[in-house]
Amino acid sequence: MTNELDEKLIAAKERWAREGKHQSGDAPKKKSRLPPGQHKTDGWPVLDLGMKPHIPLKDWTLNVTGLIENPLTWTWEDFQAQPQVEIKADIHCVTSWSMYDGVWGGVSAKRLLEVVKPKAEAKFLLFKSYDSYTTNVPLSRFDDDDVLLAHSWNGKPIDRDHGGPVRPIIPKLYFWKSAKWVRSIAFLDTDQPGYWEVRGYHNDADPWKEERYS
Ligand SMILES: Nc1nc2c(c(=O)[nH]1)N[C@H]1C(S)=C(S)[C@@H](COP(=O)(O)O)O[C@H]1N2
Ligand SMILES: [Mo]
């Protein structure tokens, strides 16, 4: 089961986009920590396309390509040798759960940007994952203080179910923008919509604006 696409879940999520499931239309509550239409969850649900790639650390690499001065391939050792940060953040999933106060450990987006040096034309990022998933964000959304390439959660390695060895965490966007099992990051001058972005999900994905569906 874990190596097959979860066709039923994918079909359901495409239907939710057509039907606008969980779309509250509520105005954001000024002081609320919860974006409109969300509820707090205590566990951490698992959501993906169904195939959960297993990537031994010795085989893991991260490729960073495109419109940057210094394209690179990091091995696990290269990645660990970068300055490490811990960032506490809330996560908001489009299926309406929000998880509070995760402590994410890894390499900050700011550090990656400092190393690769995006060219002036670079405006968008495309993440590709070991399960062939893709998702896109503007460079301006990646270049934020709370964004990182995370390898740990609450002090422990992110497990395979949740996208380990490494996944970006972009707390200010719905969680589908945080690619599990990330394999490459391309810096582009044009926006290239990813897996869910071409299947009815909003390109920008700001939970505070309730940008669930396109
Ligand atoms: N590689 C990959 N990343 C992915 C997905 C996926 O199917 N494959 N699903 C996305 C979606 S829709 C969500 S809600 C979150 C879920 O992450 P979790 O399973 O750790 O909660 O991962 C996102 N990143
Ligand atoms: Mo999702």
Give the 3-state secondary structure of residue 160.
helix
Q: Which residue's CA is the nearest one to ligand 1's atom 16?
A: 47
120 CA distance to ligand 1 middle (Å): 30
Cα 98 off chain centre by = 14
Task: Please report the DSSP string for 69-90 in residue order.
Answer: SS-EEEEHHHHHTS--EEEEEE
Position 30 scores a pLDDT of 67
Of 141, 149, 145, 151, whose CA–CA distance to 203 is shortest? 141
| Cβ atoms < 10 Å from Cβ of 10 | 15
Closest ligand 1 atom, residue 163 Cα? 20
Both tokens assigned to 188: 């582009």
Rounded Cα gap, residues 40 and 58, in angstroms: 37
Rounded Cα gap, residues 88 and 150, in angstroms: 12
Rounded Cα gap, residues 37 and 147, in angstroms: 24
Position 164 scores a pLDDT of 98
Low-confidence ranges of the chain (pLDDT < 50): 1
Tell the CATH superfamily of the 67-214 domain: Oxidoreductase, molybdopterin-binding domain (3.90.420.10)
Nearest ligand (C-alpha, residue 170): 1
Position 33 scores a pLDDT of 95
Q: What is the CB < 6 Å shell around ligand 1?
A: 44-49, 93, 129, 131, 133, 162-163, 175-176, 178-181
Ligand 2 ion: residues within 5 Å (CB): 47, 176
pTM of the model: 0.96
Position 204 scores a pLDDT of 98
Both tokens assigned to 93: 């999933």
187 CA distance to ligand 2 middle (Å): 23
Nearest ligand (C-alpha, residue 16): 2
- Name 193's Cβ contacts closer than 8 Å, sequence gap at least 6: 136, 203
Position 3 scores a pLDDT of 73
Of 130, 129, 136, 76, whose CA–CA distance to 106 is shortest? 76
